[in-house]
Amino acid sequence: MTTESSVNRPPLPLTIEHVTTAWLDAAINSWTPGAGITASQIVEVIHGTCTKLHIRLERNAAARAAGIPECVVLKGGFEPHSRAMHAMHGLEVHAYADVAPVSPLRMPRCYFAGYDAEAHQGIVIMEDLRARGVTFLHPQRPQQPNSVVHRLSKLAKHHAMSWGGKDIEPGGRFAFAPDYIDGFETYGASILTPEVWRSYVESSRGAAASVRFHSLDWMRGVLAKLSRHSKIVPRTLLHGDTHLGNLYIDIDGEPGFFDSLPHVGPPMIEIAYHICCALDLADRRTHERGLVAHYRDALIGEGIDPPPLDALMHQYGCYLATGYLIFLVNAADFQIEAVNTAYTARFSAAMLDHDTIGLISALP
Which class for 227: exposed (0-12), middle (13-18), buried (19 or more C-beta within 10 A)? middle
- Do residues 340 and 327 make contact, with C-beta atoms less than 8 angstroms apart? yes
- Do residues 86 and 186 make contact, with C-beta atoms less than 8 angstroms apart? no
- Identity of residue 148: V
Query: What helix, strand, coil percent values describe the chain, rounded to 5?
Result: 50, 15, 35
Local confidence pLDDT in tens for the 364 residues of the chain: 344 444 468 999 999 999 999 999 999 999 999 999 999 999 999 887 789 999 999 999 999 999 999 999 999 988 877 676 778 889 999 999 999 999 999 999 999 999 998 988 999 999 999 998 999 999 999 999 999 999 999 999 999 999 999 999 999 999 999 999 998 877 667 788 999 999 999 999 999 999 999 999 999 999 999 999 999 999 999 999 999 999 999 999 999 999 999 999 999 999 999 999 999 999 999 999 999 999 999 999 999 999 999 999 999 999 999 999 999 998 776 788 999 999 999 999 999 999 999 999 999 9
d(C-alpha 45, C-alpha 41), whole Å: 11
Contacts of residue 63, Cβ cutoff 8 Å, sequence gap at least 6: 28, 32, 34, 35, 36, 37, 57
d(C-alpha 150, C-alpha 240), whole Å: 18
Per-residue CA distances from 108 to 10, 27, 139, 257, 264 (Å): 22, 18, 20, 8, 22
- pTM score, whole prediction: 0.93
8-state DSSP, 17: G
Q: What is the pLDDT of residues 340-359, one digit of tens each?
A: 999 999 999 999 999 999 99
8-state DSSP, 126: E
Rounded (5°) CA angle 142-145-146: 120
Q: Select from 89, 95, 118 the least CA-distant residue to 11.
A: 118
Number of neighbouring beta carbons within 10 Å of residue 67? 11
d(C-alpha 158, C-alpha 108), whole Å: 16
Q: Select from 72, 47, 66, 59 the least CA-distant residue to 132.
A: 72
Per-residue CA distances from 308 to 165, 247, 250, 315 (Å): 20, 29, 33, 11
d(C-alpha 99, C-alpha 109), whole Å: 12
Region class of 39: left (phi > 0), else alpha (psi between -120 and 50), else beta: beta
- Do residues 293 and 285 make contact, with C-beta atoms less than 8 angstroms apart? no
Q: Residue 8: phi, psi to the nearest 5? A: 65, 10
